[in-house]
């Protein structure tokens, strides 16, 4: 517990640093969205409208310390400002929508690829040179080596455009009632998820598999596994409680980290499949010079990565008794 407490303090400090940098960056860049609009109007905008635009977007005047204080105060209230691209929606609302879709898509895909990778990795190491080891390992490795956008476009071209098995994009059909109590809507969401999720799983599973396989092969040669077998334990007990349990420890860190990166969204996936997640939102924000939204995205991603790291530490405490003391 003291270990987790120390980690928590560390992550809070890291978060504070990230928040501060997030505050600084836009202020170091020249120009702001209002000046860009001003430029676009080629001088036909009077100073009063410029002034009112600044007010509307919530820009604060005054020395930098004052700005910083009001920035922090707003953050604590969950107020991330107003989006410019989605004006007048507040940034938090735009992020909320994108985040929900991203977590659904990437959460499911990551969970499946991790579990599948662990399971196949255990199999491959346990029966070395047999089917899983000899065929599944190189094939998933091959998929993992494809450039992701290329695989995504091929999938989209073949299964959506040519064969017409799956929709071309978006998270759900637009012509049905968007309501989670509507089973048709839920089915539509799942249906829209299959192609992007499969693409992510295909590219990700190889890495998990290979990592687990190698770690498991190492552990299988450990004396305690030999002793477990000699003791007459069932293969199942040796495989899971003695070998896999230890071999999984490095993968757990990787998994928790990847949970953090989920929130960053798979920009390429979401763009290729026009999926309305955080990655897609971030790209839109950049194109529109929507600083408040960009800041919001960065903040969210930072918090997710830190949170996931903390989760990894907590998982380690549960799984590895050596960390506890």
Partner 1 sequence: MTRQPAPESNLVLPPLAEGEPLLSVRNLSVVYHTKRGEVKAVQDVSFDLMQGEVLGLAGESGCGKTTVANAVLRLLRYPAEIAGGQVLFHGLDITTLSEDQLRDFRWKHMSIVFQSAMNALNPVLTVGNQIADAILAHTDMTKEQARARSVELLEIVGIDPARITSYPHQLSGGMRQRVVIAVAMALNPQLIVLDEPTTALDVVVQKQIMDEIRRLKESYNFSILFISHDLSLMVEFSDRVGIMYAGQLIEMARSQDIFRGPRHPYTQRLMDSFPTVSGPRSQLRGIPGSPPDLVTPPGGCRFHPRCDVALDGLCQQVVPVFTEYGPNHWAACHLLDAKDEVPNG
Binding footprint of partner 1 on the chain (CB under 8 A): 123, 222-224, 226-237, 239, 241-242, 245-246, 319-322, 325
Nearer to partner 1, 154 or 319 (CB): 319
Q: Using alpha carbons, list the distances in angstroms from residue 32 to 54, 72, 88, 241, 291.
A: 10, 20, 17, 58, 8
Residue 246 beta carbon to partner 1: minimum distance, rounded to whole angstroms = 6
Residue 128 beta carbon to partner 1: minimum distance, rounded to whole angstroms = 10
Residue 252 beta carbon to partner 1: minimum distance, rounded to whole angstroms = 12
Query: Cis before residue 88, ω within 30 degrees of 0?
Result: yes
Residue 230 beta carbon to partner 1: minimum distance, rounded to whole angstroms = 6
Residue 35 beta carbon to partner 1: minimum distance, rounded to whole angstroms = 59
Contact criterion met (CB below 8 Å) for 175 and 188: no
Crossing angle for the helix pair 278-287 and 91-126, nearest 10 degrees? 130
Residue 213 beta carbon to partner 1: minimum distance, rounded to whole angstroms = 16
Q: What is the spatial distance between Cα 312 and Cα 244, in angstroms, rounded to a whole number?
A: 18
Nearer to partner 1, 197 or 220 (CB): 220
Contact criterion met (CB below 8 Å) for 143 and 203: yes
Extract the tokens encoding 118: 């662990």
Nearer to partner 1, 27 or 245 (CB): 245
Stated as kind and residue range, the H or E segment containing 323 is: helix 321-324
Nearer to partner 1, 216 or 293 (CB): 216
Nearer to partner 1, 220 or 259 (CB): 220
Distant-in-sequence, close-in-space partners of 311: CB < 8 Å, separation ≥ 6: 256, 259
Rg of the chain over Cα atoms, rounded to whole angstroms, equals 24
Q: Residue 118: name the closest of 240, 222, 263, 225 by CA.
A: 240
Nearer to partner 1, 55 or 324 (CB): 324
Nearer to partner 1, 150 or 224 (CB): 224
Nearer to partner 1, 290 or 313 (CB): 313
Residue 317 beta carbon to partner 1: minimum distance, rounded to whole angstroms = 12
Stated as kind and residue range, the H or E segment containing 49 is: helix 47-56
Residue 234 beta carbon to partner 1: minimum distance, rounded to whole angstroms = 4
CA quadruple 146, 150, 156, 158: dihedral sign: negative
Contact criterion met (CB below 8 Å) for 82 and 88: yes
Extract the tokens encoding 163: 């064969």
Strand partners, 90: 82
């Amino acid at each position: 517990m003291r270990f987790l407490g120390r980690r928590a303090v560390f992550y809070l400090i890291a978060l504070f640093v990230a928040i501060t940098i997030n505050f600084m960056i836009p202020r170091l860049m020249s120009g702001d969205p209002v000046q860009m609009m001003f430029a676009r109007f080629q001088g036909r905008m009077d100073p009063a409208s410029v002034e009112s635009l600044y007010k509307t977007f919530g820009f604060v005047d005054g020395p930098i310390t004052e700005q910083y204080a009001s920035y922090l105060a707003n953050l604590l209230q969950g107020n991330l400002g107003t989006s410019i691209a989605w004006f007048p929606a507040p940034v938090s609302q735009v992020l909320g929508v994108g985040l929900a879709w991203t977590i659904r898509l990437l959460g499911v895909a990551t969970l499946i690829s991790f579990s599948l990778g662990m399971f196949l990795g255990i199999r491959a190491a346990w029966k070395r040179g047999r089917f899983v080891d000899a065929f599944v390992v190189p094939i998933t490795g091959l998929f993992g080596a494809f450039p992701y956008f290329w695989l995504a476009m091929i999938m989209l071209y073949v299964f959506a455009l040519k064969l017409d098995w799956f929709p071309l994009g978006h998270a759900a059909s637009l012509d049905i009632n968007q309501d989670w109590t509507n089973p048709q809507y839920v089915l539509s969401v799942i249906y829209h998820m299959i192609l992007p999720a499969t693409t992510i799983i295909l590219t990700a599973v190889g890495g998990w598999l290979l990592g687990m396989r190698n770690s498991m092969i190492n552990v299988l040669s450990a004396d305690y596994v030999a002793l477990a077998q000699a003791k007459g334990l069932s293969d199942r007990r040796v495989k899971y409680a003695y070998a896999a349990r230890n071999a999984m420890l490095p993968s757990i860190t990787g998994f928790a980290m990847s949970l953090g990166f989920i929130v960053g969204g798979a920009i390429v996936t979401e763009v290729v499949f026009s999926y309305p997640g955080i990655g897609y939102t971030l790209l839109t924000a950049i194109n529109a010079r929507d600083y408040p939204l960009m800041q919001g995205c960065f903040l969210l991603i930072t918090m997710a990565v830190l949170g996931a790291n903390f989760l990894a530490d907590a998982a380690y405490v549960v799984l590895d008794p050596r960390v506890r003391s």
